[in-house]
């Protein structure tokens, strides 16, 4: 049937769409990315302490040091595991026997008394560990 020179096709051409719509997938992935970017900094681990600020040079690290932390409640942590003060010397002696070149870094909250810090230092020295350093935050 032609009318005014135009052909009308009474049959519609139905083709299946063979492409996948990826827009919803991209939207979901962007939302997940934003969620991970927001939550990743909040997942800090470790013992909460406030280090004193001092201008000191950074110490180059060759081996993984042993970190002893003293928090503001005078609790002692040996590599993030709480250790009673009476057991510290025996644990340090065992570590020294296993690794004679062990390095010990001490992190103490700035309100920890000098007396408590020296008690911990004495236990480190009594366990024959001589490579000891104190950790501080750089001063702004």
**Domains recognised in the chain with CATH numbers:** 2-42 (no CATH), 66-134 (3.30.420.270)
- Point out the residues of the chain with pLDDT beneath 70: 1-14, 17, 44-46, 56-63, 140
Q: 6 vs 1, 14, 140, CA distance in Å?
A: 9, 21, 82
Contact 109, 72 (CB under 8 A): yes
pLDDT of residue 111: 92
Alpha helices in the chain (DSSP H): 23-39, 85-98, 114-126
pLDDT of residue 37: 86
pLDDT of residue 137: 82
Using CA of residue 90, residue 94, residue 97, residue 101, what is the dihedral sign?
Answer: negative
* CA dist., res. 71 & res. 11, Å (int): 81
């Amino acid at each position: 049937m032609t009318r005014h020179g135009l052909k009308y096709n009474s049959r519609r051409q139905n083709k299946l769409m063979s492409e996948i719509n990826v827009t919803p997938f991209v939207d979901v992935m962007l939302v997940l990315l934003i969620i991970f970017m927001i939550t990743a900094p909040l997942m800090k681990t470790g013992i909460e302490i406030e280090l004193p600020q001092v201008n000191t040079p950074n110490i180059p690290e060759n081996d993984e040091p042993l970190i002893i932390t003293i928090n503001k409640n005078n609790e002692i942590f040996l590599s993030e595991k709480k250790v009673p003060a009476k057991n510290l010397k025996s644990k340090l002696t065992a570590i020294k026997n296993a690794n004679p070149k062990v390095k010990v870094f001490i992190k103490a909250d700035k309100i920890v008394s000098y007396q408590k810090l020296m008690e911990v230092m004495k236990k480190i020295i009594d366990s024959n560990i001589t490579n000891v350093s104190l950790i501080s935050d750089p001063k702004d």
